[in-house]
Homo-oligomer: A and B are copies of this chain.
């Protein structure tokens, strides 16, 4: 496994791989890898000759009062996991090289990024789109793999790729959950024993909503209310949003839910830890 730190070297290496006719797949991550990330590597490996993963905690996607400094980091362990799971190249750029002094260019998706997490994290998707555009131009992948856990992020990236004509196929891999149902997330490491126990209620609440739907209930507000009610029963959990949206456009569903197309997404504070989860009806 190769570890590349320099932008020029990564770019040159990708050009050379492309000249050799190799298909490149790419999994951008912020590190602190868990089984969710590793499942993305599996998809990537099936899709290509060479799998590149990047590890970079992207300052541009954190708000001024968010957890950039505390965000968990474990590069050595991450590299070992990448090695074990057959990643070919890990791109480990330096913050000073990706965002040097005087950095000033940003990519904004202005529609799908507005609702849901866009309300409470107003510059999050600007940061995500910017770093992904940069990484796409450096790594020049044929395929890039994102996780359904960040459903809105995946939809926004897809829209950016389409609007700006990046020649990259976007794949989205299913959410990987802990045994009790909690969606895997690097931020779960923030949870103490009691928070961890209560956090599972988020997924349980989503499942209760889906149960209503599966039992024939077609009233969106009734389903969302059920989910909010179940989450709010736990004192530790505070709902940021619970919404039903079209899974591609992120537009709110007000009337007809369409099977396989309606996404129920939520963000919840578990004490001071912000968790998100979603499922498709």
Binding site for B on A (CB under 8 A): 7, 11, 15, 102-112, 129-130, 133-134, 137-138, 140, 159-160, 163-167, 249
CB distance from A133 to the nearest CB of B (A): 6
Q: Which of B11, B110, B134 contacts A167 (CB 8 A)?
A: B11
Question: How far is it, in angstroms, between the C-alpha of A165 and the C-alpha of B103 when the chains are bound?
Answer: 12
Q: Is the interface of A mostly helix, strand, loop or mixed?
A: mixed
Given A7-B165, A137-B164, A165-B7, also A159-B112 (CB < 8 A)? no
Closest Cβ neighbor of A11 among chain B residues? B167
Report yes or no: B108 in contact with A108, Cβ–Cβ below 8 A: yes
A109 to B103, CA, bound (A): 9
Q: B106 near A107 (CB under 8 angstroms)? A: yes
A249-B159 Cα distance, complex, nearest whole Å: 32
Min CB distance, A125 to chain B, in Å? 11
With A104-B159, A105-B160, A160-B105 known to touch, is A137 a contact of B166 (CB < 8 Å)? yes
Partner of A110, one of B105, B111, B164: B105
B165 touches A134 (CB 8 A): yes
Q: Which listed residue, B103, B112, B138, B164, touches A133 by the CB 8 Å rule? A: B164
